[in-house]
Structure 1
């Protein structure tokens, strides 16, 4: 450390600092982007941004680069000189390594005051090895003054200064620490990386400039899987404008009427983007954002306008930052489009966007139709049953629906299924016929279809529930008439779901019959020949239903034998058949003895997948489940006359 007393000062403060720092850069991304730009202009190869894990009194944001750094004198003449023009000072708009400079106004260095009270700078000069550290206090700079300039300079606190040392030049670079942060929320590192990537055109130049946030490099935020079309790459030979040349990186290159060149790439996402930072076209100049995403000031009344919510793109227009008069706003968020020099770009952008929106609309419709035809394959049998004129109407109606670009694939598939079911059921035929003749569809018509398809879906399900209830009634009649056990068992085997909605996917399973008979013979002994079982399966679950002969009552002795039987069957099945993971048992009888020990025994067995019930209890529980399901369906369309008729006619269907 030298004994020499280093001296730094600042003359412009007060409202200058307030407007150039606090007022314009209150977003962490905007503030830090300015500091990253300064690192670019300092010929840095790498910039590291460290965000705090949590906002608090000691939280800091650190921006560190390996650029050319500054001497003590340069800290005074460059950093603390408000409005310092690096281009004019060096007589060139390029850095020593040939980079086009991003900075122009000499005020971005104060961006940190937009989010922090203290800005601490530590810099090592590549030229001399000098090391300087100083701190600026926003409160001190703007306190008790309403002026833009001060007659008396304000002394800047120099924390450390080391004189020139050639050995230190290898560690050249600048570190800026922002402390006493004015942030209310902890910045999300992943979102921060995405936002930073959208402000810089860095990926094409990753070999010469790398930006990291919390140790991870920022990257192109475009998710290829979410993008449907990319231009100019997806132009057909006929669509490609004569003025567009596609370069090796897939960007379009065009020369504007004023002789200036632009590079561009636009993409359309599969779904609406929903992010202001990404929706629209961003303009970059010298690799840095000059115009936040917009649509070249287009108003309504052009084809494919709904596609604007799917559109994102970037344009490189370096000429904007090379004009004698500054065309870019101070905080680099917008271009002055009223100026003569920017008008050719504005007019080009309007033409290009409108043209691509029309192409997108045609491609989107074709993609929907192709997807529809592919999805029609599972419906081929049903469509084949329609008369040719009817099939043609339904297919044309589906094509009309496919033109609605706002429908995603899942919504389209659901709607196509509903429309086909509606036609088969004799409903909505007039509306579907109208749709088949419509070139376009308004929102009101679509809403009507969606609302009616929702009603139909509920109505179809409700009719089916009523059918299940009718079958349960039929089963009750068989039980009351004391029909033979075999007939009852066969009735359930054909319709296992009618006993419980949970059984809807079960089917008769014969592959385990030999094992079931073997275990039953062992468990029941002399009673084995008197037993009747039904074995059902669904997926990896096996269900064995034992029917007691009509007139018998479940007692303690039978429960013990039944428990032993199911327990042995569970172990034997799991040991021999790997496809079954659970084995459940159900005992059904005319009556169950109401003694407390019998009922307690049944409650004890249920957690172990064994249950016992009488016919009244089983069918009553099943009926209640189906009736509850019907109530849910009814609530989806309570005002529909067909649903009301179905509700009023327990043993009938709607007309």
Structure 2
């Protein structure tokens, strides 16, 4: 027997496959910008070619660059996680490292057939070039010879330049505006990472939508400059809000200057706001950690009072038309109902519908229409209005409880639950009257309880009788109680639940006290019926009271005795608890 070792081979096509991980050329270029971030760069310059010009794409940064050794050991190592060597953060600026998979080096080949990398560090300029044609000539990527050119350079020079040439003709040229939108999500608010695309620095006005710039001298806070954009995209921004800048430095996280506290402003619109405000007059009202402004600052309130109306007016101009169209569509759908309302109610309904549309801006109409319909029902019908009044008076916890129950059961089911509980309470009153009447017979009690076994407890609710079970009882009793014995024939009810368990109930008249003979007789019936049934039979004896000779010990298993008064009292207590619970939920 021979033994040998095998090794994996890595096809050179791997580089092409890894370059195709990106959904667009712009996202592939972002990967190269991520590399500049990980290199602690402060400036990144991107030059995109004009369509059909044949010019290359150039991405240049002033990061730490790479030495020849780093280029050999790390950059050309595929799928090596730099975090395992250097940690989660960069050494210079303590940035959270973005590169995790070790495949971003191939991103440029998604857009171009040739990628040239020039990197400067510690007085050396190193240059390599990757070509897709060269990769296609070798079977194993480890066999690819990559020429390295190394020359001296000034010791003060550092950074990396990537040049992508021979762009793929089957793909559209990278779009500068689209690239800006992508980069804004991650880098738009970074003070120490400036990105310039085709000569313009990435800034607030690059958000796709409406841009506004305002400058004002406030009485106390002094000069403020507000710059913001409202996105026209369908989805919200990743870091929405207005950044407060004092002496050129960002303070804390972006905020909304009180708009997020207003109930009449759609929360979804807030996620489309992107901007910053310069207010150097607040420098004495910033916390020591520079992470927030002092909350009770009068100067901050003055700035908020200036910003809020400007933002609201900008939103009105951009989105009021959409809200008006949504209101018109709703009004067409409910025109007949609106026209049937009195004039004063119709005016109120129009205003209320507008507020609802403002509140639920961006939500699908299928979600808004039920809210509008409930509003109109409340104006048309008093029972709806009463229900809403109770909801308005309830605490948030009570409303949440009702909502949870409604989500589980539905309003109709809850109403039916209360109606059923009330009907059962009436039934118990009538059963109690029968139990107190000395003339009540076994047959009357049997008829009353045959379809109301819930009286004996919830565990009996699933038992029911059928024609087969009734016939089996008739067969057993018919053999014994004939002729003169017919008038002493017992009243038996045989039931079965969904699990195949049997319940034999013997009803005695309410004036009868259960005794030893009743017990013996009942278990005798069980033994007789057991000949026809394959499962154990539970026995329930029901009477008006219990005599002293009724056995309490040494009884056969699964034999119970119930007293009418006790049964009715327990059932009534359960119904009253259910009604109290329903009343608590509704209040």
TM-score by length of 1: 0.36
Larger Rg: 2
TM-score by length of 2: 0.39
